[in-house]
Structure 1
Amino acid sequence: MGYDVRRVLVDQGSAVEIMYPDVYKGLNLKPENLTVYDSPLVSFEGKTVTPRDQIKLSIQTGSDVVEVDFIVVDAYSPYTAIMARPWFHDLEAVSSTLHQKVKYPSNGQVKEIVGNQSMARQCMVTAILHRPNTGSSASTKKNS
């Protein structure tokens, strides 16, 4: 659809691709484009999240296009989307967290997606600052 998505978390540990409201709104998707998805998800914080729905979209990476089923989650995230194992498998990709790169074969070549260290740091700081204040995890008592 020509929409350039930024702030994408590449997480080979996740089992489903997630789309957050920013991308959903940016793509001007309509409710009729969605299908029901009623299985709860567990967030990074261990909380159960009920997804809104699911949508299948064509995702272009370089010159390669793969179909991806996104779960639409109406929750806060500094990221706009999470790309997970199904996308890795369809693209036949391998990631390196050390080098912040994803490499994949394409037309007899090895192509790569390079992460942005500054953006990753900004997303991490935003996520930390957005966490609700739950108080100190350690408390001290004085004996009287």
Structure 2
Amino acid sequence: MSVVRLSTEDSNSEPKRVRIEAPLVLGFSVDDKIETIQPYDDALVVTLRIGGYDVKRVLVDQGSAVEIMYPDLYKGLNLKPEDLTAYDSLLVSFEGKTVTPRGQIRLPIQTGLDVVGVDFIVVDVYSSYTAIVARPWLRALEVVSSTLYQKVKYPSNGYVKEIVGNQSMARQCVVAAILHRPNAESSTSTEKDL
């Protein structure tokens, strides 16, 4: 909805201009798909500035309730066990396994000029991603994300800013995860006689 402000002119003054104020709209259009590789079913994987460093392979997951940090990022940031605070709840991995976290750490995520403090749960399990950002970060930054458009959009200082996903990186993460599975079974080795 737009707000239109009109004012009357008197005979001794110049006409006043009409000022239209429109709220920011966070959304996507067909133009947002122009640079995506079609067709696809890729996860939304982005690069974010975490703890002062540009971090690649960050999964944006609207379905997760907590932000996760994996060993590659933990080591890359030179974090030590004494940097962590206790986190006593167990987590369930993508594979359905129970994971005991090493602890929790609060780090800033910077997007443009906006900085949001995020509590990462540090886990010591393999992932092709370095981190997962989830609903707490999405809500704090007022993000709207889309795997279809491979973008994250958020309001900042009266403008809509965006972070573009990296489909090539998302596909590399999938391949790395498949190759890492210790007991991966190929479809040809489990053929059944019909």
Report the equivalent of 1:98.
148
Instruction: Find the partner of 2:164 among 101, 114, 124.
Output: 114
Report the equivalent of 1:129.
179
Report the equivalent of 2:94.
44
Q: Distance in 1 between matches of 2:57 and 2:184?
A: 26
Residue 79 (structure 1) shift: 0.5
State TM-score, norm by structure 2.
0.69
Q: What is the CA RMSD across the aligned residues, in angstroms?
A: 1.7
Q: Distance in 2 between matches of 1:132 and 1:113?
A: 34
Could you list the per-position Cα deviations for residues 25-52 of structure 1 after superposition, in whole angstroms to 9, with x for gaps in the alignment?
1112222221011211111111111111
Q: Which is greater in Rg?
A: 2
Q: Does 1:3 align with 2:50?
A: no
Could you list the per-position Cα deviations for residues 98-134 of structure 1 after superposition, in whole angstroms to 9, with x for gaps in the alignment?
0110000000000001011111111111111111215
Q: Distance in 1 between matches of 2:111 and 2:184?
A: 39
Report the equivalent of 1:80.
130
State TM-score, norm by structure 1.
0.91
Q: Distance in 2 between matches of 1:128 and 1:135?
A: 10
Q: In structure 2, do the counterparts of structure 1 residues 32 and 104 end up closer, same or farther at CA, with 3 Å as the change threshold?
A: same
Q: Which runs of 4+ in 1 moved over 4 A?
A: 134-139
Contact kept in structure 2, 1:3 and 1:26, CA below 8 Å: no
SS of 2:73's equivalent in the other structure is helix
AA partner of residue 128 (structure 2): P
Report the equivalent of 1:14.
64
Could you list the per-position Cα deviations for residues 78-97 of structure 1 after superposition, in whole angstroms to 9, with x for gaps in the alignment?
00000000000000001011
SS of 2:126's equivalent in the other structure is coil
Report the equivalent of 2:119.
69
Q: Distance in 2 between matches of 1:74 and 1:107?
A: 38
Contact kept in structure 1, 2:178 and 2:184, CA below 8 Å: no
Contact kept in structure 2, 1:53 and 1:71, CA below 8 Å: yes
| Gap regions ≥5 residues in structure 1 | none
Residue 140 (structure 1) shift: 3.6
AA partner of residue 111 (structure 1): K
Residue 6 (structure 1) shift: 0.5
Greater mean deviation of Cα atoms: 86-95 or 33-42: 33-42
Contact kept in structure 2, 1:16 and 1:84, CA below 8 Å: yes
AA partner of residue 182 (structure 2): P
AA partner of residue 121 (structure 1): R
Residue 141 (structure 1) shift: 6.8
